[in-house]
Amino acid sequence: MAAVPQIHPAPTVKLLINGKFVESKARNWRDVVNPATQEVLARVPMCDADEVDEAVKAAAEAFKTWKNTPIGVRARIMLKLQELIRRDMKKLAACLTAEQGKTLPDAEGDVFRGLEVVEHACSIGTLSLGELAENVATGVDTYFIRQPIGVCAGITPFNFPAMIPLWMFPMAIVTGNTFVLKPSEQDPMTPMLLAELAMEAGVPPGVLNVVHGGKESVDAICTHPTIQAVSFVGSCHVGEHVYKLSSTHGKRAQCMMGAKNHAIVMPDANKEQSLNALVGAGFGAAGQRCMATSVAVMVGAASEWIPDIVAKAKTLKINGGTVPGADLGPVISKQAKARIEGLIAKGVEEGCKLELDGRNPKVPGYENGNFIAPTIFSGVKRHHSVYTEEIFGPVLVIVSVDTLDEAIALTNANPYGNGTGIFTQSGAAARKFQNEIDVGQVGINVPIPVPVPYFSFTGSRGSKLGDLGPYGKQVIQFYTQVKTVTARWFDDAATTGGVNTTISLK
């Protein structure tokens, strides 16, 4: 009798609870799929409220001692973590490409932008300083100190599985808090590698915990009475839910959400640099960036450059992320591909001019991949679906206007306010734009104006809920509470001068 071949199931993604990587007891599991090949890479658990509670209890117990850990000790752990991330950069990028689909160079960029935040966390000694005013009254000093708030949590999206977890947990724990991370169930393997590095760097048991899942685990995080703050990056629909649920349960919340980023191109702009910027920012990462340039607003004679944009977009190479020279890989899932293709079809149906159709590209060796090539619409108006919807794919829509004032009004009328940019050689036009535009992050001849970590990621209107953003100075405020102390000291021979029944200090 012939031997029956053994079927080796895909490995399971573990939880990190109290310093140990453990198997989930979840009843439901989901496949982690390579979007370029449909290979099942792993199985991730859909955790329930009980497993979230277990992680939170571990974090709460660890907080009792971690909050009093010297700043220098916390900073040295961050120094070690950044060293380990650099050591394993290639390994992290390879994992990220396999489960998310980005090209290897883009995956390394994903890791590197997160690494910059870890490097910034090493400056916690300076970042956490308070202030003191001496002699606010006779012999009285007032000062404030920053203290950690407790157990915090982060919910991260699929499009940056390294960068956005690194936006969150390093800054939370270096300020003395403990943390529960819930990464995207679509690509959880890269965050788990980061968690392993955090353990190797010396993060104590319970200070960082990782759970997985969908809505049940998200809701458990937002409603758990022990969690003090929730940080979220992702879609508007989920972000609004997270913000409302967290806020109504007494938590601080910061939610960075959807976008429709406009790039205004003036006729005096450097043509070649502007075209390169538009195409790179519009189609890089297959358009799956919240800061992607998804709308090009061509002002006046700049509309004559549309054929040049199309020609440049045609030169981009679409392929599997590990193929050398690939400019963009697949989108994250078959469902995402179908949604993007549906919006492209709707754009055609509504009368927009399809300058470049990226549907159904042929990618030899990756016939089952979720590929969409660069797609460009022109003649787009404000009511068209390709303008009103966040497509989150490699689709650039072009709107033509006559003046800069029209371009500013168009951008400000859009419900989103994540990022924008202007391409011009006029300082007056650039200054007018930065002053009048109602968008959180503004680029001047810069297509993706994501600030470096010593500033803070911002956003406005429909792109952000909560007044403090991730990383930078704002996140120090988010993860700490201010305690103000007013102090007067007397020596043994001092007299008080009698009872003072007023509220003044003299």
Per-residue CA distances from 72 to 121, 163, 171, 176, 392 (Å): 11, 24, 14, 11, 41
Residue 144 and residue 482 in contact, taking contact as beta carbons nearer than 8 Å: yes
DSSP state of 471: S
Q: How far is it, in rounded angstroms, from Cα 163 to Cα 216?
A: 24
- Paired tokens of 421: 């940019």
Do 254 and 232 touch, CB atoms closer than 8 A? yes
Handedness of CA 392, 398, 400, 405 (dihedral sign): positive
Say if residues 480 and 146 touch (Cβ distance below 8 Å).
Answer: yes
User: For position 1, what pLDDT does the model report?
Assistant: 42
Token pair 């992320």 is found at 321
Hey, which residues does 232 pair with through a beta bridge? Answer: 155, 255
Query: At a CB cut-off of 8 Å and minimum separation 6, what does 117 contact?
Result: 166, 167, 170, 171, 453, 471
The encoded tokens of residue 480 equal 């700490």
Catalytic annotation present for 222: no
Q: Helix or strand or coil: residue 358?
A: coil
In sequence order, what are the beta bridge partners of 442?
420
CA angle (188 as vertex; 237, 466 as ends), nearest 5: 35
DSSP assignment of 380-394 equals: --TTSHHHHS---SS
How far apart are the C-alpha atoms of 436 and 258, rounded to whole Å?
21
Q: How far, in Å, CA of 475 to CA of 283, rounded?
A: 30
Q: CA Rg, the chain, in Å?
A: 25
Element (H, E) at 153: strand 151-155
Per-residue tens of pLDDT for the chain, all 506 residues: 444 444 457 899 999 999 999 999 999 999 999 999 999 999 999 999 999 999 999 999 999 999 999 999 999 999 999 999 999 999 999 999 999 999 999 999 999 999 999 999 999 999 999 999 999 999 999 999 999 999 999 999 999 999 999 999 999 999 999 999 999 999 999 999 999 999 999 999 999 999 999 999 999 999 999 999 999 999 999 999 999 999 999 999 999 998 999 999 999 999 999 999 999 999 999 999 999 999 999 999 999 999 999 999 999 999 999 999 999 999 999 999 999 999 999 999 999 999 999 999 999 999 999 999 999 999 999 999 999 999 999 999 999 999 999 999 999 999 998 999 999 999 999 999 999 999 999 999 998 888 888 888 888 888 999 989 888 889 999 999 999 999 999 877 666 566 777 666 66
459 sits in the region (left: phi over 0; alpha: psi -120 to 50; else beta) called left
Inter-residue contact 332 to 159 (CB < 8 Å)? yes
> Does residue 194 contact residue 21 with C-beta atoms inside 8 Å?
no
**Cβ–Cβ contacts within 10 Å for residue 71, how many?**
15
Active-site residue, from 47, 222, 290, 352: 290
Separation CA 11–CA 14 (nearest Å): 9
Q: For tokens 């998310």, name the residue.
A: 100
Q: What token pair was written down for 410?
A: 């168009």
Contact 196, 76 (CB under 8 A): no
Of 481, 52, 459, residue with least CA distance to 229:
481
What per-residue confidence (pLDDT) applies to 3?
Answer: 45
| Longest alpha-carbon distance in the chain | 104
User: What b-and-e string marks burial along 366-378, b requiring 16 or more CB atoms within 10 Å of the CB?
Assistant: beebbbbbbbbbb
pLDDT recorded at residue 437 = 96
Q: How far apart are CA 332 and CA 73, in angstroms?
A: 39
DSSP 354: E
Q: Name the one residue in this structure whose structure tokens are 């007397």.
A: 490
Q: CB within 8 A of 154, min separation 6: which ones? A: 165, 168, 169, 172, 179, 180, 181, 182, 230, 231, 232
Distance between CA 466 and CA 23 in Å, rounded?
Answer: 35
- Alpha carbon 375 to chain centroid distance? 25
Q: For the chain, report the end-to-end CA distance as a whole number of angstroms.
A: 99
Please state, in angstroms and rounded to a whole number, the distance separating the CA atoms of residues 229 and 150: 8
